[in-house]
Every structure is written in structure tokens, then in C-alpha cells.
Amino acid sequence: MATKPTPRVRVPTQAKPGELIEIKTLISHEMESGQRKDAAGKVVPRKIINKFTAAFNGKTVFEADWNPAISANPYQSFFYKAAESGEFTFTWKDDDGSDYVATNKLTVA
């Protein structure tokens, strides 16, 4: 990996109580599937982000298990029903054990 994966998240900063908001996330990662062969004919080892978790105020609201069939620079969008003000924590788990984390504040009024 040439550069460290950088997550990008789009969440509205404000929402009305009960409002349905869409959360869009993107992270730069090559998602090496473990199916490809290099020029020498050797299989390139698998290295993907295998899990994406979204939590609000520490409580998990959405999880996605990614397999090698997920495209490079994985995109994930989902919905959340705004109830109270707080903070989102988005975590991407890499095969190599590292975690990439992003946080976003949401004000509900």
C-alpha cells in the first residue's frame, strides 16, 4: 500500500428528530482480492478491508462484512434514523489488523 487509506464520510451535520438520513462512506484501499497473479505468475496475497462498522454514541447501528468481491476504494451507503444528538464512529478493519476510524458529529434539533 503506497498511501495510508483515508476514509471519507458524508453525513449531514444537522437533522430533525425522526428524520431519515443517508450516510455515504468511501475509503481509499486497493482491496487486493487474493485471486490475482503478478507478472511472475505468483498469487498476490489477499489484503482487503473485511469489515465496516458504524456506531452512534458507542452503539452499533450498521455492519457490513466485505468479501474480496468488493471493488477497490470501497463505497458503502446506508440509512440512519436521527433520534438524539451525538457522534458517529465509523471503523474499517483491515486484513492486516489495522483499524481506520472516522468520527462525525450529528446535531438533532
Partner 1 sequence: MILKSVEKTRRETLAMAAIAGLAAILAPRLSLADEQAVAAEIKKLYGDKKFESGKIKLDVPEIAENGLVVPVNVDIESPMTDADYVKSVHVFAEGNPLPAVVSYRFTPACGKASASTRMRLAETQNIVCIAEMSNGKLHMAKANVKVTIGGCGG
H or E, element range at 99: strand 99-108
Whichever of 6 and 60 has its CB closer to partner 1, that residue is: 60
Residues 26-65 that bind partner 1 (CB under 8 A): 33, 35-37, 56, 59-65
Distance CA 90, CA 63 (A): 10
CA 43/CA 34 separation, integer angstroms: 7
HSE value, Cβ hemisphere, 13 Å, CA-based, for 58: 0
74 vs 90 by CB, closer to partner 1: 74
Number of residues that bind partner 1 (CB under 8 A): 29
The residue ranges that bind partner 1 (CB under 8 A) are 20, 33, 35-37, 56, 59-72, 74-81, 83
